[in-house]
Amino acid sequence: MKEAGLKLLSFPPDSPPLSIISAAKIAGIDLPIQTSSSASSPTLSFSNGLKLHGNYVILRYIGRLAPIPNFYGDNAFHAAQIDEWLEYTPTISCGSEFENACGYMEVYLEKRTFFVSHYFSIADIAIWSGLAGTGQRWESIRKSNKYPNLVRWYNSISAEYSNPLMEVTALYVGKKGLGKPVAAKSKEVKNVTGDSSDKAKAGSRSSSEIDLPDAEMGKVRLRFAPEPSGFLHIGHAKAALLNQYFAQRYHGEVILRFDDTNPTKESNEFVENLIKDVETLGIKYQKITYTSDYFSKLMALAEKLIKEGKAYVDDTPREQMQKERMDGIESKCRSNSVEENLKLWKEMIAGSERGLQCCLRGKLDMQDPNKSLRDPVYYRCNPVPHHRIGSKYKIYPTYDFACPFVDAEEGITHALRSSEYHDRNAQYHRIQEDMGMRKVHIYEFSRLNMVYTLLSKRKLLWFVQNGKVDGWDDPRFPTVQGIVRRGLKIEALIQFILEQGASKNLNLMEWDKLWTLNKKIIDPVCPRHTAVIEERRLLLTLTNGPDKPFVRIIPRHKKYDGAGEKATTYTKRIWLDYADAECISVDEEVTLMDWGNAIVKEIIKDQDGNITQLVGVLHLEGSVKTTKLKLTWLAETNELVNLSLVEFDYLITKKKLEEGEDFLDALNPCTKKEIAAIGDSNMHNLKQGEILQLERKGYYRCDVPFTRPSKPVVLFAIPDGRQQSVMK
């Protein structure tokens, strides 16, 4: 019944039904939405005139409609249990009852993965939405970990359904809870809101909720326009996600456009990978376009401007031209006749020797204090074949000339640009005016800068071409593919960027904050495994240990059933890390994790004082609460897996390069370290991209899974926001 009747969900502007919207998103149900100041509760209207009223009435309907197994129970009893939880959910939003409700659910979830039976249902959505809807109050509790079972459940739901839930909270949940304009939790988000003078026509929303000037609900069209000269990096990701955020806010659309005006730097490989990166970010674009689609129109427009005396051909050498622009000196070619300009323009089009000496410039104002208006270049010659259209053209428009035209031509209502382009905004609108095109609103946001990080594609290309990294997806790179390969979950990146909002304040952001967000997402759900460092590993012989090895099946994550199970082998002789052995004293009682206590009776050393082996006895009746050392270990078997644990460091040694400072002077000489280790036999089954925690060692992402015993499984260390690198 996806389209067979569903027409519109309407609700009061200050009371969005988070659970209904979330359930529909997760279920893939297309649910048109409209706020209505006259509505007292959510109403679901059908094309035949029928209506359903009330939050949980509609949620139950979505539960029955959704193509998700057991979404509203697999039998009458479970459906009734779900109803019980739906009736309980309003308690969460009652101020005085909030803590009591959290405490009750904490106990209830102690041995449960979901609220009803063994599957995800609308009961989970209702309670998740109730907690998320309290805003900062719940976030404070999450950080305190006062209710670990409840937080574990909440985080697992957030991780499993990250894209739809992040999308909904971004639109409807603010610091103070439901109904606020933005999801961001940082004070900077206040800067997202447009000045009160920017009266937007957005249905029944109040003006305080409007971010874009003169935005009309359902009529906003945005574009994300990367140049296909590299892979998408974290700075581009901010622009892409903000475009999507505003498109969702105003029920508009985003176009993915490739600004392919420089064939020297661009390639189909970059186009393909940019599309992949945009889709990885979850950007829902309406269509893909290329600036090269408009080359013929742009050439015709350039010729029209020449004939109108608004553009001229200039053969001044580039360095001299730059100096004249800085000094406000008019070019000798500025007074050329239209006929002379058209003659030289044809030479440029032909790519002749004479044409290659020339460029086309706009005739704006050489005395303007804003230097971007001092006759900018519109067209340059370039004989290099274009990656899409081959050698059809010998001239190509500059970004400054093409972008204002294509934005207006494609019906873009708001062009999002980083504040580094601020001085060129006047140029953008002046060129549109000279072209006779519709004016497009410009909305500025601050560029995302990260410590110890280069975002210039030219500088990143240097690392690739000089073999300093393994490619554009290298885990040391700030590209989307690079940071994902290192172990970052996209939902953490989305949350990180949305928390900054569309602030115009320039900030140098710490990676630690991003990795801390990432840890909160992966920790509740990623499986636990064990590894021992290869170098100097040694055996602990348990004299009363099992004569025959035995195996137990235990959870891969003690608090998340969804992580599955693993087989742990128990033997008389077990491997320990040398670093752990150094901390043990004779007759000390230690805890062997996932087994029990043992008492170390003998520490055997060689003539140089190095420990060579340990001897002890199992003391399983001992209390783990009384031991100082909790040790990870591996059974001595031939089923262990060879591992290569890889640590990475920043590519440069300075937090921020000052203007004019050469990045080559700040190169980090050691950015990668590999450590050989052995891992438990279950790691034979790790899949590429799987994230895990090595107990007491940290989080890792499997980059190369098991293929044969002679080739190690390669695990990339994932920063957790506080852990010091082993490379320091």
Residue 630 a catalytic site member = no
Please count the other Cβ atoms lying within 10 Å of the Cβ belonging to residue 501. 25
Residue of 137, 457, 486, 559 marked catalytic? 457
> And the tokens for 367?
């005395």
Considering only CA atoms, which of 12, 256, 21 is closest in space to residue 128? Answer: 21
Residue 34 burial by CB count (10 A; 0-12/13-18/19+): exposed, middle or buried? middle
Interatomic CA distance for residues 598 and 572, integer angstroms:
12
Residue 133 structure tokens = 């809807």
Task: State whether residue 140 is helix, strand or coil.
Answer: helix
Strands (E), 391-527: 395-397, 414-418, 441-445, 448-450, 507-509
**How far apart (Å, rounded) are the C-alpha atoms in residues 86 and 268?**
51
Phi then psi for 236, rounded to 5 degrees? -65, -35
Task: Report in angstroms the alpha-carbon separations of 562 from 159, 517, 522.
Answer: 12, 21, 13
Task: Please give the full DSSP string across 73-123, using - where no structure is assigned.
Answer: -SSHHHHHHHHHHHHHGGGGGSGGGHHHHHHHHHHHTTT-SSSSTTS--HH
CB 100 within 8 A of CB 147: no
Query: 122-132 vs 18-27: helix axis angle to the nearest 10?
Result: 130
What is d(CA 687, CA 684) in angstroms, rounded to the nearest whole number? Answer: 9
How far, in Å, CA of 431 to CA of 405, rounded? 8
Show the beta-strand stretches assigned E in 277-368: 287-290, 311-314, 359-362
Catalytic residue among 346, 447, 504, 601: 447
In the DSSP assignment, the letter for residue 298 is H
Say whether 513 is catalytic: no
Catalytic status, residue 227: yes
Of 209, 227, 253, 266, catalytic: 227
Nearest to 701 by CA among 486, 502, 532, 546: 486
Q: Which 8-state DSSP code applies to residue 187?
A: G
Active site members: 227, 447, 457
